[in-house]
Amino acid sequence: MICKAPQAQNRGGRYVLSPTPENGLLTVHKTRYDKHDLHSPAGESHQLHPAPQFPFEAPSFKPLSNEAKVLYAFILRRAELSRKNGWADEYGRIYLYYPICEVVALLHCGRQKAVNTLRELQYAGLVEIQKQGCGKPNRIYPKSYEAVPNTDFKKSGCGTPEG
């Protein structure tokens, strides 16, 4: 039995099927753009960074808050930059700086929520935070997510053991 695939809808003349299939597949080409299309204005560029999917899919990460998962994804991205720039301590461990004010701006939250989210990652075993004192920012050592035990990350409801 041979079935004919449904044709792509032509919404206002914006799409057209290619006359010759590429690699045996029919392709749809856009003929015009409207204000809702994702494109960059002249001279402006946007960088898209893929977020890791494991914090959102793995059962061991289910107790983590969404804010902690997003922050961990950004920490992993910065860790790659630290690795490229050679930011390692005397033991060869990669570290980075993520000031609280930047976490607040990233998560669009208050200072205490940002601190609690970092602590949540710390108590989950995903990062190690080393205080430096004297007004210097804390060093953050990202840890491998594969070593995280299957435990409840949110210890007392807010991600901190103090309560």
113 alpha-carbon distance from chain centroid: 18
* SS3 label, residue 16: strand
Evaluate if residue 158 carries a pLDDT over 70.
Answer: no
Q: Hey, where are the domains in the chain?
A: 64-145
Evaluate if residue 144 carries a pLDDT over 70.
Answer: yes
**Strand pairing report for 127-130 and 28-30:** unpaired
Q: What is the pLDDT of residue 3?
A: 43
Q: What is the pLDDT of residue 128?
A: 93
Number of residues written out for the chain: 163
Tell me the per-residue pLDDT of 63-110, one tens digit each, with 9 for 90 and over: 889 999 999 989 998 999 899 999 899 999 999 999 999 999 999 999
Quick check: 10 and 28 in contact, CB under 8 A?
Answer: no
Q: If pLDDT is split at 50, 70 and 90, which confidence band does 62 have? A: confident
The pTM for the full model equals 0.62
Burial 17-47 (b: 16+ CB within 10 A, else e): eeeeeeeeeeeeeeeeeeeeeeeeeeeeeee
- Measured between alpha carbons, how far is residue 161 from residues 30, 71, 114, 120 in Å? 54, 19, 16, 9
Evaluate if residue 11 carries a pLDDT over 90.
Answer: no
Higher local confidence (pLDDT), 27 or 52: 52
Of residues 133, 103, 105, the one with CA closest to residue 118 = 103
Q: What is the pLDDT of residue 31?
A: 55
- Measured between alpha carbons, how far is residue 69 from residues 14, 89, 107, 126 in Å? 38, 25, 11, 10
Q: What is the pLDDT of residue 61?
A: 79
Q: What is the CATH number of domain 64-145?
A: 1.10.10.10
Higher local confidence (pLDDT), 76 or 39: 76
Of residues 116, 128, 151, the one with CA closest to residue 75 = 128
Distance between CA atoms of residues 158 and 161, nearest Å: 8
Of residues 119, 130, 108, the one with CA closest to residue 156 = 119
